[in-house]
Structure 1
Amino acid sequence: MEKSKQEPTNLATGLTTSEVQQRVASGQQNDALPPLTRSVKQIFRDNVFTLFNAINLVLGALVLVTGSYKNLLFLGVAVVNTAIGIYQEIRSKHQIDEMTLLSEGVMTVRRDGQPLEVRQEEVVLGDLLLLGRGDQVPVDGIVRETTGIEVDESQITGESDSIFKQTGDAVTSGSILMSGQAVIQATAVGENSFVKRLSTEAKHEKQSASQLLATINRIIKILTYTIIPLGAILFASKMLHGNDLNQSILGTVAAMVGMIPEGLVLLTSVALAAGAVTLARKHVLVRDLPAIEALARVDVLCLDKTGTITSGRLKLAAVKPLGPLDEGGQKQALSAIVRATEDTNETAMALQSALPEVNWAVDSVMPFSSERKWSGAKFRDHGIFVMGAPEFIFSPVPDGVTEQINGYAEAGDRVLSLATAEDVRDHQLVNPTLQGLVLISDELRPNAKSTLRYFKNQDVSLRVISGDNPATVASIAKRAGLDGADQFVNMSQITDEADDGQYDDLVAHETIFGRVTPAQKKRLIAAFQRAGHTVAMTGDGVNDILAMRQSDCSVAMASGSEATKSIADFVLLDSNFDAMINVLNEGRRVINNIERVASLYLIKTMYSVMLTLIFIFMTRSYPFQPIQLTPISVLTVGIPTFFLALEPNYQRLTGQFMEKVMQIAAPAAICDVGYILVIMYLGDLLALNYTQTSTLSVMFTGVIGLFALLLVARPLNRLKIGLVTLMAVCFVSIFVWGGPLFSLASIFNWKMAVIYVPLLISAYPVYYLVQGILGKRVFSKIHWR
């Protein structure tokens, strides 16, 4: 795409206010990130113009032909379902949009000689952006000023290796600064840059694996190709067998309406949207609704130490001289390094606040990199000084020093080394000399122990993947009560040539992974996934991005880098890891409840399909009219599932959606069909008319539905028993007082009583027997994939 040509902007002042206004007026302004939610117009369109609604509309038109207007009541149910879906999604949209504004990062530009914070869409052509480590470049640009930066362009090139950039080099939108700071001038914005497309890809590169939605969509797809042809064949069959036209239409409509599990689609979308709203109230932004299910299925949670087990509030504990420099000289060197590199990570900020200001003349800077794990500078009068992880500065660590490092690390301190070097070639130190050790302390989070204990009780295995010394991490993890904290590995000893088998062995036996590079984090996550685990990764820095993309579910802290938040599925707006308990609970509640009540929706679908196939070959009319399905759908499915879906249910997910559904739905549907056929046979013997046999069919279909409801509601309590009892009373009342409305015959008829009394007595034992034999012994052993 052709980029706009742009003259260099004055580095000292940046654009003036008038220049910015001119660019905005001429459309040279950047685009905002794509919204996380659909527009209100899209919500209406996608909820109203559905295949099932179209089928319902056609069926309604057919019912109008018969003149039986009360049989149009099923359209009212469809309208209510659609209205509820629209209302819930718009409600969740507003909540999520508000949370998005809270978490939306701003960037700094230089205008009128002053730094100014703006949103991404407020950047204009020619703006000078002041970017640092962890920032994502929102526009195409050119580096105007830097002491050296490393950029991750994996979203463009597919390669995860960092690329070094100097003044004058081009930077592409979507890139992430992995180290250093720079002034970048925007050379292409909006439609002339790649940012819009790349930003979308950054968020959706890893699609959440929603087993539940995939299964429901598969059911809907099958029904899409089933409902219309089955309905057409049924209607043709009834007409060929000489049935009345109106009765054939009503029977066909009843069969097709019965096959549509409209409430299941509604329940799933509403439950996920409501879950997102609930989490938003608890200051957790859900960026991808299916991720709620993904996190609910997580059985391995990978953490960074900082911000999760510890608070991340670091402080300088001590400086231990080991070379010619005394403590004062070392503190001067450390102060000079952090001020020269201008790093803004927690370690640099802790040193800067604890050390006196030193202004050494700087010739060049080596900014901190997650791969190198050290930073430094070449000072005009003092030479090269660097600080960072001892294992990465020295290979090997000098004799006698390892024991000291391990001792400090086991006490819980983060240990850095201060060193000098003769030169830096290709970003590698030449002859580094150890000057001393720097001890950084971190405090345990107040609720760390209880949070980790909760995840253990929920069968979620916790692993710590950190760039710090593994002994330090293990010591802190022990203080937090993490099981297996004594099982740790120093990943700096694992070579880049290590194969997948070695990583598979590591994740099977180790709990703490220290000195991990970003590429190693990604490989560790992949190894957990190869072992069959569903993995969540938490992070807040650019070193976590690769692993977060690899994971099944990613969680970012709001205090972390913008790039990390941009690819996360969840953002903890308070940067409080304890909120993960709410996320896990809400996810499990939503998915467990959907799995539990879905069987009630599919009972109607299954017996409708079976009855349609049977009655195609029978001369008699289909056993239901559309109006007669309403009390069954509302009282045994619609109302009770609404309340059951709100119940707390935090059990671990099994990933057996179809197995669980079929164990309840299939036996119930088979019982429904069996009783209806028996009713037809006995009705012929006693010369019952169509209205009488259809009344008995409604009765026993509803009774079996109530038995299934009782099974789904387990474990029972007073509220659930009360709910089922209320539904049963309402169902009986319809037969006593609502007969004419629902086209039901009076049940106070001795011929009908001869049939329904003994059948009612047998209903529960028969259902229990069929459910026990088919549900537990047959359908539980079939793999529905």
Structure 2
Amino acid sequence: MAMTNPEIGLTQPEVEKRVAAGLRNEPAAPLTRSVKQIFSDNLLTWFNLINIILGVLVFFTGSYKNMLFLGVAIINTGIGIFQEVRSKRQVDKMSLLAEATYHVLREKTTLEVHQDAIVQDDILLIGRGDQLPVDAVVVATSGIEVDESQITGEANPIQKRPGDSLTSGSFLVSGRATVQVTLVGGDSFINELSNEAKTETTRSSELLTIINRIIKVLTIVIGPLGAILFTARLLRGAALDQAILNTVAAMVGMIPEGLVLLTSVSLAVSAMNLSRRRVLVRELPAIEGLARVDVLCLDKTGTITSGKLVLRDIVPLANQSLDDLRQLVGGVANAINDDNETATALKTALPNPAWSATAVIPFSSTRKWSGAEVNGHRYAIGAPEFMMPALPAPLKKQVEALAHDGFRVLCLAEVATMTGDGLSGVQPLALIKITDELRPNAVTTFNYFANQDVSLKVISGDNPTTVSNIAGQAGIAHADRFIDMSSLGDTIDYDDLVARYTVFGRVTPPQKKQLVMAWQRAGHTVAMTGDGVNDILALRQADCGIAMASGSEAAKSIADFVLINSNFDAMLNVLNEGRRVINNIERVAALYLIKTMYSVALSLIFIFMVSGYPFQPIQLTPISTLTVGIPTFFLALEPNYQRITGRFMKQVMVVAVPAATCIVSYILLIFLIGGVQFHLSYAQTSTLSVMLTGAVCLVALLMVARPLNRLKIGLVGLMAVAFVLVFVMFNHLFSLVSVFDWQLAFYYVPLLISVYPVYLLVQEVLGKGIFSKIRWKRD
């Protein structure tokens, strides 16, 4: 490895030479699928393959109009591809705003670049929270600690000194350093493991899981059932072409085409809508996941409060003047040179005497203090409880009083010895009062979550009294129930803690993770918010991780959502989008499964009947399009922010089973009485079957669309009018006989009049019978 001058960095010609040699880093993996993947994933599906095979069979019969079902499938797939590509472009545009940037020294100038602009031998300036996109070696540092848990599995920070190597995928827990890049792109360790580590808890959509389970069963059923029906038709003397058309009609009816597509498109459209509201969605199922969350864990800084810290006052504890203490605190803070919010507040408000530190221990979330040796003395700044094993009673009382008033309290102390493992000979010199402002819309936002049955919990590294005070100001219920996690021993009953307390203070990163796990063990779906490296373990463990764009790159890299404006109020939009998708898909799924249910039932029944299958493929097109395809597209996009019931199958069964039962009953009535008793032709019975099936499906559509409004009534009415026009003006196209036949009207008029009351009756009977005996579980 060629050594680069750490004071100068690479020159522009040297950078260009490395770029030409291919020694340039790779861009971050995209969050969305490529256009090619979108096309292939939507086109190369099992059901599309079945449709193509069925289309070829229909083509063989010469009845080309019966291939119209392929047109519907093509249009559905085309709409899905268009919507997903459109959503991809919006999300990709938003992801640029959340991409990590790094500080590179070139020709004595510090530049801010994306990771794909880094070349081998570049000099990087890294700080607390930065995640390394390349392999590197430490050139200069006053003290850093690195978390390599994504690589080694060990969560304990590792101290690094000049000359030590840094592996890509690891991130800085504390300190600052100048490093030289050693390996980039495909040669770096991150290329093999980092992306896997970032997504090690890949979310899955519960809706898609249930739907895919249904499809898996259908996949097993469709082929054998179709083959048996086809054989039965031939054995009963049906012509080959007619047997093929009957079988194709049955198999097309069994396929809930568009259901998976509609779910995927709905999630993609939600991601696009959220990106417009400055929320980056890293995984689509996370939208659904947040809507199911019932415990929301908040980190105080950046979530309840704005994260902007201000030095309010310094309280002397020894015989020193306030001016001397301001000089001392400012000098120590600048010598340590941490870049967290507290350090920034101190460096901004206090003078910088430009003292040179001979030794530095940077701040870490585990220690909760930092220190420096300056002018022959060792000083530490941090949480009083962590700097001294046992606080003197007067000092403890003073700290508690300040914390109760809502201040974040730090202590400046001179110490005898100072190592990464602890302090000794601690002599307190002053208390430092820091204030943290409440977010403007915090009260409104948290009240909304509480009203939606989402329990709010606060997990913070700060003093629990301070956190409790601020949580109370934000309107969080039971904020007075708080616990100091630093006061507990090594053996902690986390299950008991989460059941009793709302506010958890002085929490270490491993404890945050354990608290999240305890809520999960109690059966809750947990979301975690955070912006720093101390939140990473909990963010990764939670069912849904939410990071602020202003937070550390390491936190953003494993979160499900990144709030671009670091505004937690945007989470209301995520909650509502998730609920809209789940509620709407749960409702409209019933309409897709009606056709599947009655098609399977009719296929089984007509295996044993002399009459041919009641439909031809083309006759299913107006039913599928006008009672399912078109209306569900609009219903799936309507605002629907009700609380999640979590009972997908119950909602489906309450609508779909009565509808399918009615359809099968009407068709058997038509064939057994109209066909056998009154000798109606197959064309007449199939026309009546289409008419009654469509009528029942329109009633089911009316049920699904509830609560009704003018737009929904108009939508159902428009579909009904279009369905009538199919019989009046396009009957020949769909192989239907004329309805202006009084003998036929003698059958269909009373049957159509009976549809609505019969549907309600069947629904009531099943509701009191079968459904009442089923113990519905949360999906």
Q: TM-score range by the shorter chain?
A: over 0.9
1:686 has 2:709 as partner: no
1:316 has 2:311 as partner: yes
1:407 has 2:401 as partner: yes
Q: 1:355 to 1:536 in 2, by over 3 A?
A: same
Aligned-residue offset at 1:505: 1.2
Distance in 1, Cα, partners of 2:755 & 2:82: 40
Say if 2:332 and 2:374, in contact at 8 Å, map to a contact too. no
1:479-501 C-alpha deviation (Å, 9 max, x unpaired): 12111111111111123332xxx
> Which residue matches 1:163?
158
Superposed CA RMSD in Å reads 1.4
Distance in 1, Cα, partners of 2:232 & 2:502: 66
Q: 1:99 to 1:338 in 2, by over 3 A?
A: same
What amino acid does structure 2 have at the position aligned with 1:652?
Answer: R
Distance in 2, Cα, partners of 1:644 & 1:338: 58
Distance in 2, Cα, partners of 1:747 & 1:161: 78
Distance in 2, Cα, partners of 1:776 & 1:724: 28
Aligned-residue offset at 1:454: 0.9
> Which residue matches 1:424?
418
Distance in 1, Cα, partners of 2:441 & 2:712: 35
1:553 has 2:544 as partner: yes
Q: Report which stretch shifted further, 662-671 or 553-562.
A: 662-671
1:527 has 2:521 as partner: no
> Which residue matches 1:512?
503
Match of 1:771 among 726, 742, 763: 763
> Which residue matches 1:260?
255
1:467 has 2:461 as partner: yes
> Which residue matches 2:750?
758
Distance in 1, Cα, partners of 2:626 & 2:186: 53
Aligned-residue offset at 1:605: 0.9
Match of 1:665 among 656, 665, 675: 656
Match of 2:701 among 704, 709, 718: 709
> Which residue matches 1:272?
267
Identity %: 62
> Which residue matches 2:634?
643
> Which residue matches 1:94?
89
> Which residue matches 1:476?
470
Distance in 2, Cα, partners of 1:407 & 1:600: 62
1:584 has 2:575 as partner: yes
Instruction: Classify the secondary structure of the residue corresponding to 2:393.
Output: coil
Gapped runs of 5+ residues in structure 2?
A: none
Q: Report which stretch shifted further, 418-427 or 235-244.
A: 418-427
What amino acid does structure 2 have at the position aligned with 1:689?
Answer: S
Aligned-residue offset at 1:337: 2.2
What amino acid does structure 2 have at the position aligned with 1:754?
Answer: F
Instruction: Classify the secondary structure of the residue corresponding to 1:313.
Output: strand
Say if 2:361 and 2:419, in contact at 8 Å, map to a contact too. no
1:620 has 2:611 as partner: yes
Distance in 2, Cα, partners of 1:686 & 1:153: 81
Aligned-residue offset at 1:509: 1.6
Distance in 2, Cα, partners of 1:52 & 1:303: 44
Match of 1:375 among 352, 370, 373: 370
Q: 1:521 to 1:687 in 2, by over 3 A?
A: same
Aligned-residue offset at 1:748: 3.0
Distance in 1, Cα, partners of 2:645 & 2:202: 21
Say if 1:694 and 1:744, in contact at 8 Å, map to a contact too. yes
Aligned-residue offset at 1:783: 4.3
Instruction: Classify the secondary structure of the residue corresponding to 2:181.
Output: strand
Distance in 1, Cα, partners of 2:739 & 2:239: 25
> Which residue matches 1:697?
689
Aligned-residue offset at 1:277: 0.6
1:299 has 2:294 as partner: yes
1:415-457 C-alpha deviation (Å, 9 max, x unpaired): 1111111002453101212111100011111111111111111
What amino acid does structure 2 have at the position aligned with 1:256?
Answer: M
Instruction: Classify the secondary structure of the residue corresponding to 2:732.
Output: coil
Say if 2:361 and 2:420, in contact at 8 Å, map to a contact too. no
Distance in 1, Cα, partners of 2:302 & 2:47: 47
1:574 has 2:559 as partner: no
Distance in 2, Cα, partners of 1:272 & 1:726: 27
What amino acid does structure 1 have at the position aligned with 2:489?
Answer: T
1:20-39 C-alpha deviation (Å, 9 max, x unpaired): 11111111111111111111
> Which residue matches 2:283?
288
Aligned-residue offset at 1:342: 1.5
> Which residue matches 1:490?
484
Distance in 1, Cα, partners of 2:458 & 2:606: 61
Distance in 1, Cα, partners of 2:339 & 2:258: 51
Gapped runs of 5+ residues in structure 1?
A: 1-5
1:493-544 C-alpha deviation (Å, 9 max, x unpaired): 123332xxx1111111211111111111111111111111111111111011
Say if 2:331 and 2:351, in contact at 8 Å, map to a contact too. no
Instruction: Classify the secondary structure of the residue corresponding to 1:178.
Output: strand
1:142-153 matched pairs, under 5 angstroms: 142-153=137-148
Say if 1:667 and 1:775, in contact at 8 Å, map to a contact too. no
Match of 2:386 among 369, 389, 392: 392
What amino acid does structure 2 have at the position aligned with 1:712?
Answer: V
Q: Report which stretch shifted further, 88-97 or 745-754.
A: 745-754
Distance in 2, Cα, partners of 1:224 & 1:494: 55
Aligned-residue offset at 1:653: 1.1
> Which residue matches 2:26?
31
Distance in 2, Cα, partners of 1:487 & 1:497: 21
1:333-348 matched pairs, under 5 angstroms: 333-348=328-343
Runs of 4+ in 1 over 4 A off after TM superposition: 782-785
1:15-94 matched pairs, under 5 angstroms: 15-94=10-89
Q: 1:777 to 1:300 in 2, by over 3 A?
A: farther
Question: TM-score, normalised to structure 1's length?
Answer: 0.97
What amino acid does structure 2 have at the position aligned with 1:47?
Answer: N
Say if 1:147 and 1:365, in contact at 8 Å, map to a contact too. yes
Instruction: Classify the secondary structure of the residue corresponding to 2:302.
Output: coil
Distance in 1, Cα, partners of 2:193 & 2:185: 12
Distance in 1, Cα, partners of 2:170 & 2:775: 48
Distance in 2, Cα, partners of 1:779 & 1:140: 60
Distance in 1, Cα, partners of 2:763 & 2:148: 57
Distance in 1, Cα, partners of 2:123 & 2:356: 25
Distance in 2, Cα, partners of 1:497 & 1:341: 34
Aligned-residue offset at 1:689: 0.8
1:442 has 2:436 as partner: yes
Distance in 1, Cα, partners of 2:716 & 2:489: 62
Q: Report which stretch shifted further, 154-163 or 226-235.
A: 226-235
Aligned-residue offset at 1:209: 3.8
Instruction: Classify the secondary structure of the residue corresponding to 2:301.
Output: coil
> Which residue matches 2:233?
238
Match of 1:139 among 110, 116, 134: 134
1:382-432 C-alpha deviation (Å, 9 max, x unpaired): x11111111111111122112211111111111111111100245310121
Aligned-residue offset at 1:782: 4.6
Instruction: Classify the secondary structure of the residue corresponding to 2:31.
Output: coil
